[in-house]
Amino acid sequence: MYMFLLRTEIISLLHTCIVLVLCEMLGASPYETLLVADAGDVYLTMYNLPQAADDIYQQYTKLLSTGCKLLTIGGDHSITYPILRAYRVCDMCRASC
């Protein structure tokens, strides 16, 4: 366990150093201009695809209504439609305001 933590910390430190060097070279400051948060997993009903799609849609709609820009990593092809549906509904709400 300690080896894993140490290796993870070294990789994290190297990643941070690389990002900082690249940002300095490019004149960028992403840590000052962006806020990033992990929203965690989308909880869904297993073994019921229509309900799972609705669970995804509801949770994405809630997150998008806060004005967040979302990056989704993982999942299979069945998550695409409810996510795009949530984007469409939230975009329509913003356009009508």
Please tell me the predicted confidence (pLDDT) of residue 66.
85
Please tell me the predicted confidence (pLDDT) of residue 33.
72
Three-state secondary structure of the chain: CHHHHHHHHHHHHHHHHHHHHHHHHHCCCHHHHCCCCCCCCCCCCCCCHHHHHHHHHHHHHHHHCCCCCCCCCCCCHHHHHHHHHHHHHHHHHHHHC
Q: Specify the pTM.
A: 0.62
Higher pLDDT, 52 or 97: 52
Please tell me the predicted confidence (pLDDT) of residue 92.
74
Please tell me the predicted confidence (pLDDT) of residue 86.
94
Higher pLDDT, 96 or 44: 44
pLDDT digits (tens, 9 = 90+) for 4-54: 445 555 556 556 666 677 777 777 776 677 777 777 788 888 899 999 999
Confidence class for position 95, pLDDT limits 50, 70, 90: low
Please tell me the predicted confidence (pLDDT) of residue 4.
45
